[in-house]
Structure 1
Amino acid sequence: MARAPLGRQQLLDAARAELVAANGVVDLNALKRRSGLSTGALYHHFGSKAGLLVAIYEEFHAGLVAAIADETIADERGWAARERARTRNFVAYHLADPLAELLLGRISTEPEVAEVEAATLERIIESAGRNIRSGQESGELDASIDPELAGACVMGALRHGMAEQLRRHPRPSIDQATEGLWRFIAAAVGVNPAATPAPW
């Protein structure tokens, strides 16, 4: 992914670090000290502090989309094997980002971020519905399942399930977290989780 212009990227990096250090709070004075840039630079690049938070969320989501893209699971055979691998990529991405817990929790309650997140989730749910429908068309999933409803339920559960995993101390491993989430997904779409043993 191409990096943003220097001043903009400095602010993004500084804001991410400040959010982690201050448990989801961005103080403008602290951001100025950490980035070495003025408040004017913030307004120039993002319009407001809320705009900065939205940009952080959008950057996080773009990375997530890349991490779970079809290209990352192209070698897997069969719907269940591909989706289990995609679930593992989803888990690994969240566990690797120190900001993930805050983005799924406190920061997502900011009105501007919540609005962007709602639109993002809508796109993801539509994609999940198409994905489930493709599994039905290939004969791998029960044709009686409503794909759009199942996609919405699965993605909502994945988001909140991942947030729960991130809150646990100690945190589960990638494999442990994947297993818990995959069992739910498999049950929701009528796949026997034992029929898709973990490849790791």
Structure 2
Amino acid sequence: MARAPIGRQQLLDAARDELVHAGGTLELSALTRRTGLSTGALYHHFGSKVGLLAAIWDDFYEGLSRSTADDRLPDDPAWAARERARTRCFVAYHFEHPLAWLLLNRTAPDPGLAEVEALYIRNLSEAAAANIRRGQTTGEIPLDLDPDSAGAFVIGGLRHGIAQQLRADPRPALDATADRLWRLTAAALHLR
């Protein structure tokens, strides 16, 4: 009986699992053994090993964007209440995603991914800056804060704060971590 072809998402899932299992490295030979397919199938779907890794990074960051999107947040008109909920979603995604520890605590397994990662971080920072501008419009954030610098600061702080919490043994509770990081964010933004 012929084996059904493995699809793109199945390959992504298997590669992500292999990356986690191997502590941040991805050997195509181990992946082909795990999935029972040839490297040709990987190249067919992703073009190269870097293409496969970039697809894994894309999947991670697209999931992060979906999990912190406005439609996932309460309809509270107060900027701070909504952003506190967004911070919790941001932390929860990282606490629940199997790759988060590796992405936040190790360098990318291939230099080609550094550019991909930098682009996603820049996009997150720009979205945070736009959001901070909305908070300034409502009067909840002082106008003298530069939103671009503040957005980069908030995203960098969240990423490094979550990385530190993911390294802790035992890992702190999700709600305690989200509260701790929100308090630091609120202080940095001088929320009124």
TM range (shorter): over 0.9
Pairing 1:119–2:119 present: yes
Supply the AA of the counterpart residue of 1:21: H
Supply the AA of the counterpart residue of 1:97: H
Aligned equivalents of 1:89 and 1:12: distance in 2? 24
Match in the other structure for 2:69: 69
Aligned residue pair count: 188
Aligned equivalents of 2:106 and 2:156: distance in 1? 17
- TM-score by length of structure 1 reads 0.89
Q: Is the 8 A contact 2:108 2:114 kept in 1?
A: yes
Q: Deviation of residue 106 (structure 1)?
A: 2.3
Match in the other structure for 1:186: 186
Match in the other structure for 1:22: 22
Q: Would you identify which runs of 4 or more consecutive aligned residues in structure 1 move more than 3 Å?
A: none
SS at 2:14 equivalent: helix
Aligned equivalents of 1:49 and 1:104: distance in 2? 21
Aligned equivalents of 1:169 and 1:77: distance in 2? 37
Residues 26-62 of structure 1 show CA distances to partners (whole Å, capped at 9, x for unaligned) of 1222101111211111111111111111110100100
Distance 1:95 1:162, change over 3 A: same
Computed over aligned residues only, the root mean square deviation of the Cα atoms, in angstroms, reads 1.5
Supply the AA of the counterpart residue of 1:126: E
Q: Is the 8 A contact 1:104 1:159 kept in 2?
A: yes
- Unaligned 5+ segments in structure 1 are 193-200
Q: Is the 8 A contact 2:25 2:109 kept in 1?
A: no
Q: Deviation of residue 109 (structure 1)?
A: 5.6
Pairing 1:86–2:105 present: no
Residues 68-114 of structure 1 show CA distances to partners (whole Å, capped at 9, x for unaligned) of 00111142330110110000000111111121111223253631211
Residues 115-152 of structure 1 show CA distances to partners (whole Å, capped at 9, x for unaligned) of 01111111111111111111111111111111111111
Distance 1:73 1:91, change over 3 A: same
Q: Is the 8 A contact 1:107 1:113 kept in 2?
A: no
- TM-score by length of structure 2 reads 0.92
Q: Deviation of residue 189 (structure 1)?
A: 0.4
Q: Is the 8 A contact 1:7 1:41 kept in 2?
A: no
Identity of aligned residues (%): 57
Alignment of 1:11-160 (within 5 A): 11-108=11-108, 110-160=110-160
